[in-house]
Structure 1
């Protein structure tokens, strides 16, 4: 089978890592799978066995103006047609709105949009700043996703589009995020000289407000546990100011972005997700693959609930509740749950590959 995946770039977090892993998994299963990125920007290492095409050259700007959208639509349509001289793609899958918008405009008959998180919380937050801008983005999203076929990483995302964004969903194909535990464990064993010498909690996130670094720091202060806190990722001035003004600033580490975060996950006593909204956080699965306990907010979309089951269920806390998070931190440090291989059942790469194979085999999406 032939699969094409389209991304804005290789910067960012879970959606990009998941796409790279999924393409690698499909190729390992004997399929022709490849990636188009709209621009040549990368935080993540891409295996050289994965064919990657770049849509916009280094001397060209990628943007949302009408002229650039017209240019990029033509370039993407032409590139896909050239690739299909070797045979039609069984699925063309894009992730994130910029890529989704371009794919919608070329009208490929085997199009699927891979939805990694809910939209309405982002739109509501934007509305607090500018109702006009929020309405403009809602119209843009509606033009892309209304009546579309989608892959969803969590069971609540299709309903979120229908009920909160009032989009029509043609077909919803569940496609949970997945990991290759053996690969992650091998990467986690690589040397990392910057690990703290004391026990530490780990929070891995970009500095977007929805990731709630403020909540993580506040709960860390309230927990008064004898451990350090590591905030891994590119942090902006807003987050760094939160750190410097914290009553426990001397126990908070900010080592920056790491292309291989797994040695940090393996060494951590617990990995924490504090987001206000997510689909199915990749960091939870990656931490479990490293054998590390996790604590998570109960994100809309219900993806975190899928992961936080069995002996992990007591460590799912209500959105935005610093006291509940602090309590989870105290309990998980005092009595960490044992992470069994079964914690990743349903979230292994072979499950994701089999799911995509079933969808690709459908005569009509």
Structure 2
């Protein structure tokens, strides 16, 4: 049995947090002694069961970076003094990386869930302050052991001269397939009785809801679009700009999105870039077809073989609409999909455990 520390910023609903919590659960189920160090005791997701949780800060914002690092080290050392040294440390978000990187935990691996180059370019376009804030977080990865969530990101980082990483490898995000399929069967009175399409994601420029709504406007006979997002009011405001506000449904955060996904006719993604594309894999597990932009990185590693025909060029509402209409008319068969075997949580848990011996 290995003793494993996982660092997570909070419990708010986003892909990075979901992965960290899933990591904790599957490693615990694999017989490891897992400790989750959470920086902020707040958010939407419930804490994982049967995992030891330590809340590190009462008010992190009041502390300077050096003070944050010292407090985190004290917290970890107190646990080690009482129950033994950790065999592995996993940092799971950019908000954790800057703190963890100054603590000299060993062996420590940093997960890169995003297309780093694309994010830096996006923030540079927003202005120098936005770029600087993102750059500070990116610098925490220099000379570190990095795990990316797609082969595409791994290839990008290996060719990033300033990073000079100690090591870079790709390990796909873990999915508890049986659990997802069980939750997909749950009843929910909020779910529409009429046919609908679905999109899941934060309201950020990266997700390109402007492209999504333009595509929706180009397919007037298609079903309504459900958006499970963290800011439904902003989604509705943007939808109004493209005259599709009456064709979207915004129920807000859902603790069980799989019941929605499984009953949808189609999952739509319009992103400029992804790290992996969690909702694409989740949709396929639930038996719901996907039409996605062929963006860096992830979608083209998930939608392979015959499913590759459901990848469309980025920033092209017409192509997205046409492919969606074709998919609705003749949905693909979703059996024996290669990626589902590769992301099974039991398989991924063993890959994490192997890190202890590298």
TM-score (ref. length: structure 2): 0.94
Contact residue 264 and residue 288 of structure 2 kept, 8 A: yes
Residue pairs, 1:126-165, within 5 angstroms: 126-135=123-132, 137-142=134-139, 144-163=140-159
Contact residue 55 and residue 72 of structure 1 kept, 8 A: no
* 1:304-339 Cα deviation digits (max 9, x unpaired): 111101231111112211111111101110111111
The answer to whether the aligner puts 1:18 opposite 2:19 as a matched pair is: yes
Q: CA deviation at 1:227?
A: 0.7
Match of 1:106, SS state, is: coil
1:256–1:106 Cα change, 3 Å: same
The answer to whether the aligner puts 1:312 opposite 2:298 as a matched pair is: no
Q: CA deviation at 1:168?
A: 1.1
Corresponding residue of 2:321: 326
Greater alpha carbon shift after TM alignment, 258-267 vs 290-299? 290-299
Match of 2:57, SS state, is: coil
The answer to whether the aligner puts 1:168 opposite 2:190 as a matched pair is: no
| Number of aligned positions between the proteins | 355
Cα distance in 2 for partners of 1:297, 1:139 equals 29
Counterpart of 1:261 (choices 235, 257, 263) is: 257
Contact residue 9 and residue 17 of structure 2 kept, 8 A: no
Cα distance in 1 for partners of 2:115, 2:161 equals 10
Q: CA deviation at 1:146?
A: 0.9
Q: CA deviation at 1:203?
A: 0.2
Contact residue 146 and residue 167 of structure 2 kept, 8 A: yes
Q: CA deviation at 1:132?
A: 4.8
Cα distance in 2 for partners of 1:27, 1:78 equals 24
Contact residue 114 and residue 153 of structure 2 kept, 8 A: yes
Match of 1:169, SS state, is: coil
Cα distance in 1 for partners of 2:253, 2:36 equals 24
Match of 2:90, SS state, is: strand
Greater alpha carbon shift after TM alignment, 205-214 vs 340-349? 340-349
The answer to whether the aligner puts 1:337 opposite 2:332 as a matched pair is: yes
Contact residue 158 and residue 168 of structure 2 kept, 8 A: no
Corresponding residue of 1:93: 90
Cα distance in 1 for partners of 2:173, 2:108 equals 19
User: Structure 2 regions of 5+ residues with no counterpart?
Assistant: none
Match of 2:283, SS state, is: helix
Cα distance in 2 for partners of 1:311, 1:133 equals 40
1:18–1:136 Cα change, 3 Å: closer
- CA-based RMSD of the aligned residues comes to 1.8
Q: CA deviation at 1:291?
A: 1.1
Corresponding residue of 2:54: 53
The answer to whether the aligner puts 1:112 opposite 2:109 as a matched pair is: yes
* 1:85-137 Cα deviation digits (max 9, x unpaired): 32222210011112011111101121110111112222222222323542453
Contact residue 97 and residue 137 of structure 2 kept, 8 A: no
The answer to whether the aligner puts 1:69 opposite 2:70 as a matched pair is: no
TM-score (ref. length: structure 1): 0.92
Cα distance in 2 for partners of 1:346, 1:285 equals 11
* 1:201-235 Cα deviation digits (max 9, x unpaired): 10001111111111111111112333111111222
The answer to whether the aligner puts 1:193 opposite 2:189 as a matched pair is: yes
Cα distance in 2 for partners of 1:217, 1:89 equals 48
Contact residue 113 and residue 149 of structure 1 kept, 8 A: yes
Contact residue 16 and residue 92 of structure 2 kept, 8 A: yes
Contact residue 24 and residue 48 of structure 2 kept, 8 A: no
1:51–1:209 Cα change, 3 Å: same
Corresponding residue of 2:40: 39
Contact residue 157 and residue 279 of structure 1 kept, 8 A: yes
The answer to whether the aligner puts 1:279 opposite 2:280 as a matched pair is: no
Greater alpha carbon shift after TM alignment, 344-353 vs 246-255? 246-255
